[in-house]
């Protein structure tokens, strides 16, 4: 059971400006520190897609790096040639074509362009394809959909969710956007606003229900024929 208790200590230099602020506002320097504590209980669970979601400054990246540090996607060497050549050397042409298509980057002429000339949406799709081709069973993707419009976020979320499940890999999105919940359909969610973990897949299986998502912060409903249960998270 991966539990975490993280304290991020900040010790500002004793400059004239920092001391002026501390004195003017009577700040205890210990209050600058950030404390994140919780549990992401994945022991023995079957899952493919997870989501760490919450507002800015609520510890999403800090928690992701603490719990899934070795699996964080840190980018790749884009080079200056065709983007298809930036994919892992171990991937075959067929593998790359399949990965590009699976994440919605399905235009062969675009595969021949350098990474730097692609749009933000295309860049994100290329990054997702690289994750699928990296050979890692688990990839944690920070700032997921942060720099793309919401239509691109929707199509990318649906595409990566399907691709990950199809390949039986594991993918964790870290995002400040709660609208992707209904598109990504994660098996589990960790909400950093409330420091709360919710394993959606397990709940739906236990009750023999189909899980349907509504906007985050409202409800996730479990539909069981004529009977239904509501879980507020």
pLDDT for 203 beyond 60: no
- Asked whether residue 207 is domain-assigned, the answer is yes
Distance (Å, whole) CA 87 – CA 78: 8
**Residue among 174, 182, 170, 169 nearest 144 (CA):** 174
The per-residue pLDDT for 125 is: 95
- Asked whether residue 90 is domain-assigned, the answer is no
Q: What is the DSSP letter of 142?
A: T
H helix or E strand, kind and range, residue 156: helix 150-167
The per-residue pLDDT for 215 is: 41
Question: How many independent structural domains does the chain possess?
Answer: 1
CATH assignment of the domain containing 151: 3.40.50
Q: Around 38, how many Cα atoms within 13 Å sit in the side-chain half-sphere?
A: 24
Region 75-85: mean pLDDT is 94
Residue ranges making up the domain that contains 164: 3-73+134-231
Percent of the chain with pLDDT over 90: 62
- Asked whether residue 93 is domain-assigned, the answer is no
- Asked whether residue 96 is domain-assigned, the answer is no
Question: pLDDT per residue over 150-196, tens digit each?
Answer: 999 999 999 999 999 999 999 999 999 999 999 999 999 999 999 89
Rounded to two decimals, what is the model's pTM? 0.79
- Asked whether residue 27 is domain-assigned, the answer is yes
């Amino acid at each position: 059971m991966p539990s975490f208790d993280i304290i991020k200590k900040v010790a500002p230099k004793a400059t004239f400006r920092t001391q002026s602020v501390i004195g003017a506002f009577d700040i205890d320097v210990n209050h600058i520190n950030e404390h994140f504590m919780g549990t992401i209980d994945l022991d023995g669970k079957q899952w493919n897609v997870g989501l760490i979601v919450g507002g800015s400054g609520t510890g999403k990246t800090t928690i992701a790096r603490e719990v899934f540090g070795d699996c964080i996607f840190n980018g790749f060497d884009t080079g200056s040639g065709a983007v298809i050549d930036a994919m892992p050397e171990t991937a075959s042409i067929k593998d790359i074509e399949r990965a590009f298509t699976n994440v919605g980057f399905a235009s062969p002429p675009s595969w021949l362009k350098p990474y730097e000339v692609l749009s933000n949406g295309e860049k994100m799709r290329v990054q997702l394809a690289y994750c699928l081709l990296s050979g890692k069973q688990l990839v944690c993707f920070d700032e997921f959909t942060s720099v793309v419009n919401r239509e691109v976020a929707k199509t990318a979320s649906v595409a990566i969710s399907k691709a990950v499940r199809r390949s039986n890999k594991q993918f964790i999105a870290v995002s400040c956007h709660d609208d992707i919940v209904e598109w990504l359909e994660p098996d589990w969610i960790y909400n950093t606003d409330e420091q709360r973990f919710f394993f959606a897949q397990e709940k739906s299986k236990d009750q023999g229900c189909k899980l349907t998502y509504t906007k985050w912060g409202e409800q996730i409903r479990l539909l069981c024929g004529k009977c239904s249960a509501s879980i507020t998270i």
